[in-house]
Structure 1
Amino acid sequence: MALPWLTLAGTIWLQSINGTNSNFPAYSSQLKNLLSLSQLQLNNLAVASDAGKLFGWFSGLAAAHLPLWLVLVIGSILSLIGYGIQYLFLTNQISSLSYGHVFLLTVVAGNSICWINTVCYIVTIRNFPLDRQVAVGISTSYLGISAKIYTNLVDAFFPSSPEERAKAFLLLNSIVPLVVCICVAPMIRDISSGKSRRVEIEFVVIFVITIITGIYAVTTSFGSISQGLSPVIIVIGMGMLLLAPAVVPVAEKTMERLQNKCWIRREESVHDINVAEEVGGLEIEDRCKGGDPSVGENNIGVKLMVMMVEFWLYIFVYLFGATLGLVYLNNLGQIAESRGSSKTSSLVSLSSSFGFFGRLVPSLLAYIFSKNKCMPSTPTSIAAMMLPMSLAFFSLLSSSTLALFVSTAVIGFCTGAITSISVSTTTELFGPKNFSLNHNIVVANIPIGSFFFGDLAAFIYRQQSDAKNGKCMGMGCYQKTFIMWGSLCFFGSFLALILHSRTSKKINNCS
């Protein structure tokens, strides 16, 4: 069927523009100057974006009772309100807007991401029940290049002055999600295809397209490579690659029409009845053999989930892994500035591009290991990602520019991978039935960790800063922070192994 692949293409387009909070480091320094903010206030704005996830469970409830297209539109409207009013304020079209108002608007904008993510997760899990980790991993990988896409658009179509770039990011964050959601909403649906089947060639094509997109994003993130290319040319190239996944549903539909033309129509109604009975019998037989993956899986509700030891282990693993990585990326602008680097946009694009591959690799490995009927548990995979991530934090203690770029790439990759793996982990631990609510509860740790770790980093930054202008320059600004983050990340990998030992009997990935 072509429709499931059309929905997958739709979720890819949605995810590619849904990382509106990930481009915050690209304009955070300019926003700090425009609003005359302290480092602590700026960090709290980054926390506010993540704080929207505290209310992500609203999107889970809405998805259970409202049409998915309506949930999608609500999410895009929240983004329009959150970022749009801030843009009007910075362009002096709204005169009175306090810091508290900006904080609340950022919370609303951050919450919009949950609504769009929830729809994407539900659609891919339901439409590809036997390959859900692969499908979810492919679609969420595009969230990793979201910051890259927005940065390219700003470079191509807006002035280069820092103040105008900050306004441009807010304008795009408010308008682009609404436009894309309205265009994609008609194709986002739960396709009840009756008989589940594993797919082969279609995923291979999607993987090839996705890998080429990631390579393009990474290569155009390096100034030495992209200097000879016009920003408009880079945007056009990215646009063509983003449209490429539509080739699969178009090809599927073409093949269906060709097959229909080749079939010989038979007029006997008895034959039609026999065919219907035969197909129905095959569907029933397949489901009895385990074709329906929801059979036999635990479907745990929120009340029971929060009482489980595995849930709290999982929360702290996520907190010391993906959440720490997101806190680092949120502070990337100030970290680069303190080290005397003027390449913040390149660093944001680099982390975004490697985050793309980080989100993609788990789905690629899941596709490969599924051939052998055996794959490592998701907690083990998370532990494997947290070890190099902890080393990257420690390598940031070096003052070299190379260490900054390599560490940022590693942290972006590992953060993206853990985020992607966590979708499957939530489903495996607590079942797919209540996924939309359960996973939004899990990711609620992000704003908590962002507030705690981010404010602690801001406090250390302020201690080292110049009393006159509040800026801190030098390696000492984040030295203690990197040691703390690296140690916590290493400890988190140990917790992930404990989670694996407790769930290895419940989650059997080898058959």
Structure 2
Amino acid sequence: MSSPSSAHWLSLVGSIWLQTINGPNSDFPVYSSQLKELKSISQVQLNFLAFASDAGKLFGWFSGVAALYLPLWVVAFVGAAFGLVGYGIQYMFLDSSGLRYWHLFLLTALAGNGICWINTVSYLLCINNFASNSRVAVSLATSYLGLSAKVYTSLAETFPGLANSKTKTYLLLNAVVPLFVTVMVAPSLRVFDLKSAAASSDAAFLVMFAITLATGACAVVGSIGSTANGLSSKEHMISLGVLLATPILIPVGLKIRETLTKIRETQRENRIHDLGTDESESVESVVVIDVAADANAEVAKEEDAVVKKPQEEVGGLRLLKSPDFWLYFFSYMFSGTLGLVFLNNLGQIAESRGIGQTSTLVSLSSSFGFFGRLLPAFMDYYSAKSGYSISRTGSMASLMAPMAGAFFLLLNQRDFFLYLATAVIGTCTGAITSVAVSATRELFGTKNFGVNHNVVVANIPVGSLCFGYFAAFLYQREAGARGTLTCSGAGCYRETFAIWGTTCAVGTLLCAALYARSRNFAGRLPVRIPSCLARLANLV
């Protein structure tokens, strides 16, 4: 069995790969217009389908409860199975008149619930296998969720002959890819007992950051420059696939180093034994044991000298009665969820402005969302080195302000501002959703994290329903005023963008209030007392 240092990095790689494919709903804007025509549904009905994927998150807390009693690999398989059934049935019967609208809604909701199960597995692996660097590990893993749309669009462009329509191609990929990856990473989805941190953690994280940056750069180049530089979709998919596979080199390298270390230790013991000096050998053994015991005692004393304010564990009904929960709930809904609603409507927004390459715009938002999710990992890693920790609620508030400004930028009808605002909203939405994972733990503790965070993300279906339906209503009203079924021009979403920008500004104020309430205990690292002072305190 793998030793802890290589095993826990293997679990992180498994989490990264799961996150990379755990956004099958993110490619919905690419084929939503074709689905609308194929099933002859209205814009309001189409927005309800986008909401359906988020509606599955209303029951996401079931995955948190299941993770308390089932192995994590089983929880991941349940999520992948839900996606296989939800998208697979749509793929098989999409052309049939027997597949009604309400069938599509329920199947999409089932697949959306499956996303929660896989997310829960990834979060718990990062938190439990990286106790001292859980923030960095969570941010790294969740950053790859931002690449989901890019991965699925690249696969669809690389293999266009998978189905007879673009819609069926994406539905097939959404059904099969998550299950395939889950089967591949299942052996690594375990919590390992890490009694001591590996000495190479810092170097491994730096290598992981370099790989992640290279992967993000490749995704951005493929999103905005593939046509200009002549890179085909197949070549881009190969380069992206190689970079996504590269993280496996970290646990492999650690395992090789551990094996070589064991070989050297064995050879050293054999040389000592061959000397035939039993007396000196026993003396040497005693010395080694005493030194190790002294070192362990020293570490234990230093650990005891850590002054740390105990964190209150909140769960169940106490969570719903907490004012901080509702401030957190609505500030998340008015920012991160609002950004997700914008991204879900990106296909219709691009179509109303006459932009034909919807997949390019979706890939752009996915790529910048990836960097947004990665940003907290950098900040946590380097701030922890200086002995400080950045408040998660403060980070969320600072990310909401530029996001509100981006919605107002969309009032300008030039295509440049659409691309710029999409990049900003994608970045901020990705960062907020990544920060929120650690914020839940920071505010309410780790004991009930699996359930608590799934209760928090229930704001996503609520916000998706409210904001999505309102946007569709205004779109239909504008189209009706023009006497057409579809709306064209910047005026189709002008009122929507103004309202969304104002709502996001309100969310910024709510999150600032939450930060003011929680800053006394959130975002601080334990204060370590020097060992000499600890000894003096023990003598007294």
TM-score bucket (shorter structure): over 0.9
Deviation at residue 376 of structure 1 after TM alignment: 3.0
Please tell me the residue identity of whatever aligns with 1:402. Answer: F
Name the CA distance, whole Å, in 2 between partners of 1:32 and 1:223: 29
Q: 1:90 aligns with which of 88, 91, 94?
A: 94
Matched-pair contact (CA < 8 Å) for 1:32–1:38: yes
Name the CA distance, whole Å, in 2 between partners of 1:252 and 1:234: 29
Structure 2 matches for 1:37-116, cutoff 5 A? 37-92=41-96, 96-116=98-118
Matched-pair contact (CA < 8 Å) for 2:389–2:523: no
Query: Which residue in 2 is equivalent to 1:363?
Result: 377
Aligned length: 506
Structure 1, unaligned runs of 5 or more: none
Name the CA distance, whole Å, in 1 between partners of 2:86 and 2:430: 25
Structure 2, unaligned runs of 5 or more: 274-280, 528-540
TM-score, length basis structure 1: 0.95
Whichever of the two has the greater Rg, that structure is 2
Name the CA distance, whole Å, in 2 between partners of 1:108 and 1:351: 25
Deviation at residue 290 of structure 1 after TM alignment: 4.8
Matched, 1:494 2:496: no
Deviation at residue 375 of structure 1 after TM alignment: 3.4
Matched, 1:180 2:194: no
TM-score, length basis structure 2: 0.90
Deviation at residue 394 of structure 1 after TM alignment: 0.3
Please tell me the residue identity of whatever aligns with 2:12. Answer: L
Matched-pair contact (CA < 8 Å) for 2:86–2:110: yes
Name the CA distance, whole Å, in 2 between partners of 1:341 and 1:155: 18
Matched-pair contact (CA < 8 Å) for 1:148–1:348: yes
Please tell me the residue identity of whatever aligns with 1:484. Answer: I
CA deviation vs aligned residue, 1:265-323 (integer Å, no higher than 9, x gap): 277797597688667656754653459x9x93222112111111111100111011100
Matched-pair contact (CA < 8 Å) for 2:333–2:460: yes
Deviation at residue 66 of structure 1 after TM alignment: 0.3
CA deviation vs aligned residue, 1:240-270 (integer Å, no higher than 9, x gap): 0001111111111111111112222277797
Structure 2 matches for 1:234-313, cutoff 5 A? 234-263=236-265, 264-265=268-269, 281=297, 284-285=300-301, 287-290=303-306, 296-313=310-327
Query: Which residue in 2 is equivalent to 1:476?
Result: 491
Name the CA distance, whole Å, in 1 between partners of 2:343 and 2:260: 49
Deviation at residue 232 of structure 1 after TM alignment: 1.0
Structure 2 matches for 1:116-155, cutoff 5 A? 116-155=118-157
Name the CA distance, whole Å, in 2 between partners of 1:119 and 1:456: 34
CA deviation vs aligned residue, 1:442-473 (integer Å, no higher than 9, x gap): 00000000000100000000001157652011
Query: Which residue in 2 is equivalent to 1:507?
Result: 522
Task: Give the alignment's Cα RMSD to 1 decimal.
Answer: 2.1
Name the CA distance, whole Å, in 1 between partners of 2:229 and 2:158: 13
Comparing 362-371 and 225-234, the one that deviates more: 225-234
Please tell me the residue identity of whatever aligns with 2:387. Answer: K
Matched, 1:350 2:354: no
Please tell me the residue identity of whatever aligns with 1:180. Answer: V
Name the CA distance, whole Å, in 1 between partners of 2:79 and 2:460: 19
Deviation at residue 195 of structure 1 after TM alignment: 2.5
CA deviation vs aligned residue, 1:79-104 (integer Å, no higher than 9, x gap): 00000000001254xx5221111100
Name the CA distance, whole Å, in 2 between partners of 1:197 and 1:435: 26
Name the CA distance, whole Å, in 2 between partners of 1:177 and 1:460: 35
Please tell me the residue identity of whatever aligns with 1:26. Answer: V
User: Which secondary structure does the structure 1 equivalent of 2:165 belong to?
Assistant: helix
Please tell me the residue identity of whatever aligns with 2:188. Answer: M
Please tell me the residue identity of whatever aligns with 1:216. Answer: C
CA 233–312 in structure 1, closer or farther in 2 if over 3 Å, else same: same
User: Which secondary structure does the structure 1 equivalent of 2:321 belong to?
Assistant: coil
Query: Which residue in 2 is equivalent to 1:454?
Result: 468
Matched-pair contact (CA < 8 Å) for 1:325–1:415: yes
Query: Which residue in 2 is equivalent to 1:36?
Result: 40
Query: Which residue in 1 is equivalent to 2:11?
Result: 7
Matched-pair contact (CA < 8 Å) for 1:423–1:439: yes
Name the CA distance, whole Å, in 2 between partners of 1:298 and 1:424: 15
Identity %: 49
Name the CA distance, whole Å, in 1 between partners of 2:523 and 2:434: 19
